[in-house]
Amino acid sequence: MRSLTVTELTCQACGAPVELFSDEQRRRCPHCGEWVARVSVPTCASWCPSAKMCLGEERFAELAESGHLGNPAKEPAEE
């Protein structure tokens, strides 16, 4: 059995409290529907030029949309 913890964050859009479990990185605000995400440490996906190819376009897009990549690296140049 896993031991989950709960963190309460504040929605930046409407100010409502949003509960995030320890196994979640983001959740939609139950009041306004905006995404609320915990602050995370940058991963290799935020700087590696091959991140999009490595993660797959769909997962890379999800991370970029959620703000978890910061300023993601540009796509590698085709040779």
pLDDT digit string, tens, across residues 16-34: 999 999 888 889 999 999 9
Tell me the pLDDT of the chain averaged across its residues.
81
All residue ranges of the chain with pLDDT < 70 are 1-2, 40-42, 68, 70-79
Provide the pLDDT for residue 76.
Answer: 44
Provide the pLDDT for residue 74.
Answer: 46
Provide the pLDDT for residue 41.
Answer: 63
Q: Is the pTM of this model over 0.95?
A: no
DSSP string, the chain: -----EEEEE-TTT--EEEEETT-SEEE-TTT--EEE------GGGT-TTHHHHH-HHHHHHHHHHTTTSSPPPPPPP-
